[in-house]
Amino acid sequence: MGVDIDKKRVVAICGSGGCGKTTLVEDIMFLTKKTTRKGSTDKGNTLMDFDSEEIERKISLQLAVGNTQWNKNVLYFIDTPGYHNFIADALCGIRAADSVLMLVDAKDGVKAQTERLFDEAKKEQKPVMFYLNGLDKEDIDAERVVSSIKSELSDKAFLLQYPIMENGNLIGYVDILEQKAFDYEKKEKDIPSSVNDLVEEKYMELIEEISTFDDELMEKYLEGEELEKSRLVETLKSAVQSGELYPILIGSALKGFGSEQLLNDIVELLPPPKEEYDEDAALVFKTYNDPQLGKISLLRVCAGEFKSDTNYFNVNKDQEERLGALQSVQGKSFSKVESAAAGDIVAVAKLKTTQTGDTIANKGSSVKCDFIEMPLPFISYAVYGTSKGDEEKLGAAISKIIESDPSLKFSRNNETKEFILTGMGAMHLEVTASKLKNKFGVEATLKLPKIAYKETIKGKTQSHGRYKKQTGGHGQFGDCVIEIEPLQRGGGFEFVDMIVGGAIPKQFIPSVEKGIKAAMEQGFLAGYPMIDIRIKLIDGSFHPVDSSDLAFQMAGSIAFKDGVEKCKPTLLEPIVEMEVVVPDDNMGDVIGDLNSRRGRVLGMEPYEEKKGYQRIKALVPEAEILEYAPSLRSITGGKGFFKYKFSTYEEVPQQIAEKIIEKSKSEE
């Protein structure tokens, strides 16, 4: 806004939960005089965590945007959630940014979510800079954390600053490339003798690595000549922006240590936006509902210029969309701007058809800004309204929430007649239930979903059904003989008409089938629908006056119910085909766990998208994986993930079947 594109930076702040992302943005906004006081997540008064759920839980649940100025540059920061339950917003933030600042807690080190987000940043081809946060804490081993970044994320990560500690306290840093020491009052000081050799070692490592990206530098380095600092910096910048080298900076967001140098390095090393297209185009990367303003859409301008109160076009929906006032965004605060150019982020209220992931352009444009694939949600709960009124309002309220969080899925299971809410984890669904209550006044209860059991038969029999009723005047008469036999799994239902000689008139044969189908909806054992059965209609009789459609339906139903008891009825359960991706080290434990869930491992192979990981394929009863997600996280330290789809139905083992049947009868 108001500056050249090369003076803009759009940076996604990423990292695992609790590593200090929101605190860092808060410190930057205070340092650059965008705020007059530093808020804290504990007090619930930060710029970025403004949603009531975030304030209550003291964690970020959705992305938020802030902007500031530094050395005549405009910097946009997208503060993203760090917990896996809310990874969809982190991915949206990475997509909308030009680079990623990855925070790593100096005490906790690299976590599973750090690894996942780093992989996503690389997949999106976004340059990454690491920020080692919290060096003011006690018992910090910075070398250990740097080693874990190198071993678990990339061996192309290099320290640009070395911490200076005194009596266990962080008092300053050494700029490794400049070989100068500073305290956090910005005063230059001598490099302490205690770290002199280490700093020299880090310097040699760094310049050797930088030199690999420039033949002339490499030649001079090998010949022991002095290297120009300006050329080293330019080569470093080029390697960072091409995603071939990852600088590591240090500091403490809570204490405000290192934020000024961080801003300098963001401007110096991270890339400005690029005009992605030859015409006006903007990506809607986040939608949320504001209590006062209603639906808010966040737009990242990818190319050209957009103006307030102007008609544009939603390319995805093929519909005109009027943009009202464009607003500069500072957390939940807005200020009107007349226009926004490539690299800017603005908010627009009350767009009619536009949703997250849509492209806004000029009419007639075919440009579509790339967007992320939403991660597959993998934990499901049945959702019930606590009253009839809540039941009726449930769908509409959840639709509103999904508008701002497209990683949620809401559907109706036609088999069990339950409404199913599917998300990224238990906390994700709990937060959704809380939003339903606090924002939409809908009380909802989450329960484990029912399993869509079925029943079938293993034997064959012949059965006779007769329905005769005399009530004065016309009576009712229907009579049929059927043969019942099992079909192979997946066979469904077959009805074979074998009537000869008009034993049952043609018009009543569909009535027999209808009656049998109705009877199959409630099985003999536990009332579950019956499948994989063939019925042969082999004989019957009729009355020229009293026979009717209803009478033959009843006869068919009676014949089926009487016969099915003699056909060895059995309970079936849905089996799902799972793909579980896990680190090599955890494979044995995961396979053991799947076996304990009555799973059958079909095979395993290296996971092509990530070195050191295996893909396990298995068939597992659906009843055994309703709460699989937390178990897998526990076994793999949060690094494993899975997806599944329905495969087939299989017979339930006798002991388990007895419990299911008993439970079903007690519920009746």
Within a 10 A sphere around the Cβ of 181, how many other Cβ atoms?
22
Cβ partners under 8 Å of residue 111, min gap 6 = 16, 105, 638
Among the listed residues 521, 505, 534, the one whose alpha carbon sits nearest the alpha carbon of residue 561: 521
CATH number of the domain enclosing 145: 3.40.50.300
Statement to judge: residues 15 and 154 lie in one domain: yes
CA distance 346 to 355: 15
Please give the pLDDT value at position 282. Answer: 97
Measure the N-to-C terminal CA separation of the chain; round to a whole number of Å. Answer: 66
Statement to judge: residues 523 and 466 lie in one domain: yes
Residue 622 included in any domain? yes
Statement to judge: residues 349 and 477 lie in one domain: no
pLDDT tens by residue, 418-437: 999 999 999 999 999 999 99
Statement to judge: residues 66 and 147 lie in one domain: yes
CB 460 within 8 A of CB 486: yes
Residue 370 included in any domain? no
Statement to judge: residues 459 and 556 lie in one domain: yes
Statement to judge: residues 11 and 128 lie in one domain: yes
- pLDDT < 70 regions, the chain: 1, 472-473, 668
Give the SS3 label for residue 452. Answer: coil
CATH number of the domain enclosing 318: 2.40.30.10
Statement to judge: residues 555 and 577 lie in one domain: no
CATH number of the domain enclosing 502: 3.30.230.10
CATH number of the domain enclosing 412: 3.30.70.870
Please give the pLDDT value at position 326. Answer: 97
Segments forming the whole domain that contains residue 484: 455-567
Look at the chain and report how many structural domains it folds into. 5
Residue 371 included in any domain? no
CB 555 within 8 A of CB 480: yes
Cβ partners under 8 Å of residue 362, min gap 6 = 279, 280, 312, 313
Residue 275 included in any domain? no
Would you state the structure tokens that stand for residue 221, as one six-digit string?
A: 């380095």
Cβ partners under 8 Å of residue 592, min gap 6 = none
Please give the pLDDT value at position 578. Answer: 96
Residue 373 included in any domain? no
Please give the pLDDT value at position 272. Answer: 97
Q: What is the DSSP letter of 4?
A: -
Among the listed residues 601, 570, 599, the one whose alpha carbon sits nearest the alpha carbon of residue 453: 570
Would you state the structure tokens that stand for residue 171, as one six-digit string?
A: 């008092």
Within a 10 A sphere around the Cβ of 235, how many other Cβ atoms?
23
Whether the predicted model's global pTM rises above the 0.85 cut? yes
Residue 204 included in any domain? yes
Statement to judge: residues 541 and 655 lie in one domain: no
CA distance 625 to 34: 49
Statement to judge: residues 486 and 347 lie in one domain: no
Statement to judge: residues 61 and 166 lie in one domain: yes
Residue 476 included in any domain? yes
Statement to judge: residues 495 and 583 lie in one domain: no
Statement to judge: residues 27 and 151 lie in one domain: yes
Residue 369 included in any domain? no
